[in-house]
Structure 1
Amino acid sequence: MENEGSCAMNKRMRTSVEDGEMINEVATNNVGEDAEENVVVSELVEHEIAGILEKINNFTQQVSELLESGKLMLKELSNEFEERMILIHKEQMEKWQDKIKRLRSLDASNEEIDAMLQNAKCLLQGIPGNS
């Protein structure tokens, strides 16, 4: 992965170097011409460079703004995710607590019924002739 990144960087650097060489060639080709034309070419080159630098600044600003808005969106999404997970956890805990409560209630009812049956069994065993 580092090789891919360095290859991309080398391509960008090569492109920048080639652009710089083209600018140098234009300036070199005009050296033999009179000084007034050379000044015009230099002003054009400077104007081109200023335009490129402005594009770089604008692009950098856009990237910075996108990064900030991306961070903000991820933070909001993270907060929403956290809130939703807490809500799901709370709902599930309430369901399980309710189930435990119902099981305890059912167990208590079963114990009462079992006690009644035991009493009835003892009463029936105590009646003469049922043994």
Structure 2
Amino acid sequence: MEGEGDQVTRKRLKSALEDNGGTYEEKAAFETNDVAQVAASEEMELNVSHILEKIENFTHLVSELLESGKAIFKELSNEFEERMIMIHKEQVEKWQEEIKQLRLLDASNEEAHALLHNARCLLQNAHIDNDS
């Protein structure tokens, strides 16, 4: 059973053949009619039949290859997207950890600054008391 993608690919391939002057079925039928009028041999008809079968088999093979290529690219695209999202998440988490560390450092610095300020005030008060 052919999938939708396989059918679309076959239509594209047949369209490409039509751009060259008609489908291979139409060309074969036209040639067969002309040849029949010229009293074609069964061997020639058999050869034409084999060539048409080769064309159909080749078209089917190309169609399958295109579909498998699409599937591979889709899988790679999904893996790429997942990896990019994971990299983004990891980087954001690193930066959030940096922010947390900076805030902790800032709080520690503020606490030290407050202690030093209090110590300075005490020393100034002690120095003023000694001068009086």
Give the TM-score of the pair, scaled to structure 2.
Answer: 0.75
**Aligned match for 1:88, one of 88, 91, 105:** 91
Equivalent position of 2:130 in the other structure? 127
Match runs of 1:1-20 below 5 Å: 12-17=17-22
Task: State which of 20, 26, 35 in structure 2 corresponds to 1:30.
Answer: 35
- The aligned residue for residue 6 of structure 1 is none
Deviation at 1:101, TM superposition (A): 0.7
Name which one, 1 or 2, has greater alpha-carbon Rg: 1
Taking only aligned residues, the RMSD between alpha carbons, in angstroms, comes to 2.4
1:104 equivalent to 2:107? Answer yes
Instruction: Tell me which of the two structures has the higher relative contact order, counting C-alpha pairs closer than 8 angstroms and 6 or more residues apart.
Output: 2
Aligned in 2, Cα 1:61/1:81: closer, same or farther, shift over 3 Å?
A: same
Instruction: Report if aligned partners of 1:27, 1:41 keep a CA contact under 8 Å in 2.
Output: no
Number of equivalences: 119
Q: Which runs of 5+ in 2 are unaligned?
A: 1-13
- CA gap 1:18/1:52 in 2 versus in 1, 3 angstroms: closer
Aligned-partner residue type, residue 20 of structure 2: T
Correspondence for 1:68: 71
Normalized against structure 1, the TM-score is what? 0.76
Letter matched to residue 15 of structure 1:
N
